[in-house]
Amino acid sequence: MKSPHVLDALRRLLDSDEVAMGEKLPSERALAQRLSCSRETIRRAFSVLEDENKLWRHVGQGTFRGPRPGTAPLREKLLVHATSVEEFVNARYLIEPVVAAEAARHATASDVERLSACVVSGRIGRDRLECQKADDVFHRTIAEVAKNPVLFSFLSFLSDTRRRSAWQTQWERTYRHLGIEEFTQQHSDQHQCVVDAIAENDPKGAEAAMRSHLRTIVVALQKAPGSPKFSGLE
């Protein structure tokens, strides 16, 4: 297979569900055999994709899907990879409603406009990656609107966990089980409820709306194949 075709094949691999975000790709040898090309051709394609932030490489460890991780201390990176789906969901359930309440206390008109734009982006998502990106931006923006750098740091850390842990694999199973309409419609409607409460500067309403949204995510996860069991989310 010629180099341009190899590059296209690797792009399709990265856009598929075969390798989750943050997970390790097959070895150069395995990909060379699979695509009927040399390992050197694979390396050249990897260089192009790495420049595009679609993957990153670590000598002695392999090649991983997604942009290169930041410069977080090693213990934080290990925590991100070791976090279970249940631990991740519990952390979100404890923290994000409080962050939404803080956003309601501090939101300006321009903040509400930004959040509304995030909801629109979620509604027009065409596939899992677009929906996930829009969802991530929405939750990060709420953390920014809360105007508390400590809370924003917590949410950023959770976002990294979301991209680089067992959560990603389970969420992909959930997405395939439910379909895109669930995310562009119900989840976007729930995001709008959170924004409406924030726009009214209603901390209790924003907290309740976010907690209700997170319960929906838990229910969706539990319905998907291979789902973990969750507790303490009342």
Q: What is the mean pLDDT of residues 4-28?
A: 84
Which pLDDT tens digit goes with each residue over 170-217? Answer: 666 676 666 677 777 888 999 999 999 999 999 999 999 999 999 988
Q: Are residues 39 and 153 in the same domain?
A: no
Q: What is the pLDDT of residues 38-87, one digit of tens each?
A: 999 999 999 999 888 888 887 777 888 887 765 444 445 545 554 567 77
HEC string for 76-131 = HHHHHHHCCHHHHHHHHHHHHHHHHHHHHHHCCHHHHHHHHHHHHHHHCCCCHHHH
Distance CA 144, CA 137 (A): 10
Verify that 197 and 151 share a domain, yes or no.
yes
Say what the pTM is: 0.62
Q: Which two tokens stand for residue 112?
A: 């509400």
Are 78 and 59 in the same domain?
no
Q: Report the CATH number that the domain containing residue 44 is assigned in CATH.
A: 1.10.10.10
Domain that holds residue 23: 3-65
95 and 15, same structural domain? no
pLDDT value of position 132: 79
Domain presence at residue 56? yes
Output the pLDDT for position 74.
Answer: 44
Do residue 17 and residue 40 come from a single domain? yes
Compute the distance between CA of residue 214 and CA of residue 234 in angstroms, rounded to an integer: 11
Write down the pLDDT at residue 14. Answer: 87
Provide the CATH number for the domain around residue 197.
Answer: 1.20.120.530
CA–CA distances in Å: residue 99 to residues 59, 95, 154:
39, 6, 10
The rounded distance, in Å, linking the Cα atoms of 146 and 191 is 16
Residue 37 to residue 24: CA distance in whole angstroms:
20
